[in-house]
Structure 1
Amino acid sequence: MKILIVDDHTVVRDGVRRLVEGLPVTQIGEAESPSEALAAFRKLRPDVTILDINLKNGSGLDVLRRLVADDPGARIVVFSMYSDVVYAASARREGALGYVSKSAPSDELLVAIEKAMEGKPHVDAETAALMEAQENTASGAKDLSRRELQILHMLGEGRSLNDIALGLGVAYKTIANTSTRMKEKLGMERTADLVRFAIETKGGRMLGREGES
């Protein structure tokens, strides 16, 4: 098995190298920048590529797109400092088979590599739990009224509750109470969580409904 490690930190590459040396590996390649990654990928033709999102002079997601374009059958595991559903979903959408946070136990990366060799997806437990929670939240969003979706849309634009109240010509308390009901429906406790959800779903438009009054 040939493995390519793409990360802009030497200490991380060394750590991953020591970890994968326990596998039946015949060759290990390394790269720290997008250009090096593409060149190493074409030269080594690895069975599995372990790819960071933050790279020297570029984005790992851009590299991911280029590698998949170069070889649609490429088996790529994203190994990132972010245990974030947005990055994980983006990586999977761009063609990565696996996604593992650097905060996850080392065994998670080994499992992801083994799964990738079988052509199967794998996401570390922490990130998978976050993704499941977001799916549940999105399901709860189907219960939002049109006015609530309108407010969600305005939150996604970066507007405060006070700004929304002024814009809709209603009392602040009305918007605050509506915000509380929205959080209850979505299983959230903080307004900050509601704002983040609004941004990630583009103000509710990704849920398939427009925030109309």
Structure 2
Amino acid sequence: MKILIVDDHTVVRDGVRRLIESLKVSEIGEAETPSEALAVFRRLRPDVTVLDINLKNGSGLDVLRRLRADDPKARIVVFSMYSDIVYAASARRDGALGYVSKSAPSDELLTAIEKALENEAYVDRETAALMAEHESVRSGVTDLSRRELQILHMLGDGKSLTDIAEGLGVAYKTIANTSTRMKEKLGVERTSDLVRFAIETKGGRMLEGGDRSHSGK
């Protein structure tokens, strides 16, 4: 069995390497950046890729899509610092078999890898509980386009619609219209609700209290 570990922190890669020594691994590849990830993936053709979301010079979610485009049968487990249904739903939609938070017990990553080898899905218990508890929110998130998810993540980073328009090199009206569609999909009425949703889900928390219009939430 061959495993590829994609993470921009050496200590994390070392930890994952030690963890998977209990499995029958014949070769382990490592990468820090999106370009390295694709190059090592094509050389190694791993049975499972363990992929971080935050990488040097790019997004792990972009790498996920590139790896899946290169090999539609690629088995990928996203290993993220976020217990976040936005990231989890996005990763699952783009073909990841597993999603495990770095705060989860180490045995959950092993379970996710073993499940991926059998082409079975696995989400760590904490994230899975959030997804089950907030099913209607998760469903709304999976309806978002990749650009809408990108904007949601940028809102979660504290950027305004003006900042986002400038960062993406598009007109403010384009971002404003997109945010309107996002509000409809997520069931919120105001831009402030959308921003609050983005910030709180990015931190692994769901909306609690206050005035919002998620049905049943």
For 1:81, the equivalent position in structure 2 comes to 81
Residues 107-148 of structure 1: CA deviation (Å, up to 9, x unaligned): 000000000000000000000000001116679xxxxxxxxx
Give the SS at the match of 1:21: helix
Distance 1:75 1:191, change over 3 A: same
- The amino acid of 1:87's aligned partner reads Y
Structure 2 counterparts to residues 94-173 of structure 1, below 5 A:
94-135=94-135, 153-155=188-190, 157-158=191-192
1:23-74 CA-to-partner distances (Å, cap 9, x unmatched) read 0000000000000000000000000000000000000000000000000000
Distance 1:111 1:62 in 2: 24
Q: What residue identity is the alignment partner of 1:23?
A: L
Q: What is the aligned length?
A: 158
Task: Tell me the amino acid that sits aligned with residue 126 of structure 1.
Answer: E
Q: Matches of 2:138 and 2:66 in 1, distance apart?
A: 31
The match for 1:190 is 209
TM-score, with length taken from structure 1: 0.69
Residues 152-178 of structure 1, C-alpha deviation per residue, up to 9 Å, x if partnerless?
Answer: 5433x2269xxxxxxxxxxxxxxxxxx
Q: CA RMSD in A?
A: 2.4
Q: Which structure has the greater CA radius of gyration? A: 1
Q: Quick one: which amino acid aligns to residue 191 of structure 1?
A: G
Letter in 1 for 2:189: M
Do the aligned residues in 1 keep the contact of 2:85 with 2:138 (CA within 8 Å)? no
Q: What is the SS of the residue equivalent to 1:158?
A: helix
Helix, strand or coil at the partner of 1:190 = coil
Partner of 2:67: 67
The offset of 1:191, in angstroms, is 1.6
Segments of structure 1 that go 5 or more residues without pairing to the other structure are 140-148, 161-186, 198-203, 205-213
2:32 paired residue number: 32
Residues 34 and 63 of structure 2 are in contact (CA less than 8 Å); yes or no, is this contact kept in structure 1? yes
* Secondary structure of 1:191's aligned partner: coil
Counterpart for residue 164 of structure 1: none
Matched AA of 2:209: R
Which residue of structure 2 aligns with residue 167 of structure 1?
A: none
SS at the partner of 1:83?
Answer: coil
| Equivalent-residue separation in structure 2 for 1:105 and 1:38 (angstroms) | 28
Structure 1 stretches of 4+ with a deviation exceeding 3 A read: 136-139
1:173-212 Cα distance to aligned partner (Å, 9 max, x none): xxxxxxxxxxxxxx974127x38x6xxxxxx8xxxxxxxx
The aligned amino acid for 2:73 is: G
- TM-score (structure 2 length as normaliser): 0.68
Q: CA deviation at 1:97?
A: 0.2
**Structure 1 CA distance, aligned partners of 2:17 and 2:126?**
23
Distance 1:127 1:159 in 2: 22
